[in-house]
């Protein structure tokens, strides 16, 4: 069989297929199935700053008439974080590379926690950040600087490699990734799948839109994986969202991704599905004469194809001009 081993963030991986951040990674039984199925690495479910703070505030509010309120607030936060750190220790025992994930809104309280993540044995850290621009008087650069500030402080605080999970809603994605690279960020995950609101017209309520990825979601990141991998080869890309089978994984690797992350596919098919995807990639490599993932990675990225304008085009001129 073709060799699937590769490297990502300086880590040796048995496969370019990574279990993306999800609740699956919080079950040790499912983690063991992922490992047995040949997963390259596991990104743990994000620990959310606002979720921990909300729990703490709830406890503080309930205990506000008691002198122990400050203690309860601190205990609630520390208990949530301690559980996460202990889970890192347990997952690490399986022998698979462990990438912790933190969803943070500020750089103040999280610097010390990222140090604890490192001490617990995490091999890398994925920063999961998104700031919704709600101030009509605030220029976009102000929001982007918030990303850079957090990344800068986290990278300076720990020695393990740091990646940043970003969304597509930037005016200039290339510049954003370049700024991360200048701050010694080792990789970017493209792209995050965010919670998006929907509307139930029967109940007249705001509800969640679709949670799981669709195959069509792949198109959103494929273009930018191909462009960023060509324009900024110094930073490593982990493709995410819409990677539901082996075909999608191969496409992203051809576009230039170092690794691919799967979450929705694992929810739908179970953690053992990683073995199916690995088999598909391996058989495709053998069929096409590739002995390693490096042999074909980026073979169809922006700089490798004869007509890079294919990645630049944003309108369906040719497609619709041929339709009656």
Q: Which helix (H) or strand (E) holds 197?
A: strand 197-200
181 occurs within a structural domain: yes
Residues of the chain with pLDDT under 70: 1-2, 48-80, 105-109, 314-324
70 occurs within a structural domain: yes
Tell me the CATH number at 186.
3.20.20.70
1 occurs within a structural domain: no
Q: Which pLDDT tens digit goes with each residue over 105-152? A: 665 667 888 999 999 999 999 999 888 888 898 888 888 999 999 999
DSSP-derived letter for residue 181 is: H
What's the gap between Cα 95 and its chain centre?
21
Our count of domains for the chain comes to 1
Q: How many helices (H) and strands (E) does the chain have?
A: 12, 13
Q: Which domain holds residue 272?
A: 6-321
Listed as own residue / partner, the contacts of 6-10 with beta carbons closer than 8 Å and 24 or more positions apart are 6/40, 6/258, 6/259, 6/292, 6/293, 6/294, 7/258, 8/40, 8/41, 8/187, 8/236, 8/238, 8/258, 8/259, 9/99, 9/123, 9/124, 9/161, 9/163, 9/186, 9/187, 9/236, 10/161, 10/186
19 occurs within a structural domain: yes
The whole-number pLDDT of residue 70 equals 40
The whole-number pLDDT of residue 53 equals 46
Q: Which helix (H) or strand (E) holds 163?
A: strand 162-166
What's the gap between Cα 169 and its chain centre?
15
50 occurs within a structural domain: yes
Do the strands 236-240 and 187-190 form a parallel or antiparallel pair, or are they unpaired?
A: parallel
The pTM of the whole model exceeds 0.75: yes
The whole-number pLDDT of residue 68 equals 41
The whole-number pLDDT of residue 139 equals 86
């Amino acid at each position: 069989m073709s060799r699937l081993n590769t490297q990502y963030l300086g880590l040796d991986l048995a496969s370019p297929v990574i279990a993306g951040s999800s609740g699956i990674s919080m079950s040790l039984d499912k983690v063991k199935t992922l490992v047995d199925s040949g997963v390259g690495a596991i990104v743990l479910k994000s620990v959310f700053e606002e979720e921990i703070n909300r729990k703490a505030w709830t406890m503080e509010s309930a205990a506000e008439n008691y002198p122990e309120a400050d203690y309860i607030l601190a205990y609630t936060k520390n208990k949530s974080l301690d559980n996460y750190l202990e889970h890192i220790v347990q997952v690490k025992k399986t022998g698979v590379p462990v990438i912790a994930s933190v969803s943070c809104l500020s750089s103040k309280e999280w610097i010390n926690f990222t140090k604890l993540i490192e001490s617990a044995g995490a091999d890398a850290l994925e920063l999961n950040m998104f700031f919704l621009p709600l101030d009509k008087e605030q220029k976009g650069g102000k929001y982007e600087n918030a990303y850079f500030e957090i990344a800068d402080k986290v990278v300076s605080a720990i020695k393990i490699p740091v990646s940043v999970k970003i969304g597509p809603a930037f005016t200039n994605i290339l510049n954003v990734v370049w700024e991360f690279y200048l701050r010694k960020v080792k990789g970017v995950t493209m792209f995050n799948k965010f919670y998006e609101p929907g509307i139930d017209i029967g109940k007249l309520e705001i509800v969640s839109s679709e949670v799981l990825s669709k195959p069509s979601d792949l198109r959103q990141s494929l273009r930018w994986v191909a462009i960023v991998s060509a324009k900024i080869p110094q930073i490593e890309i982990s493709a995410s969202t819409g990677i539901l089978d082996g075909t999608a994984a191969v496409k992203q690797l051809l576009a230039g991704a170092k690794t691919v992350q799967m979450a929705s596919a694992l929810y739908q098919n179970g953690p053992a599905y990683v073995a199916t995807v690995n088999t598909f990639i391996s058989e495709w490599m053998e069929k096409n004469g590739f002995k390693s993932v490096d042999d074909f990675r980026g073979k169809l990225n922006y700089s490798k194809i004869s007509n890079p304008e294919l990645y630049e085009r944003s309108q369906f001129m040719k497609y619709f001009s041929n339709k009656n």
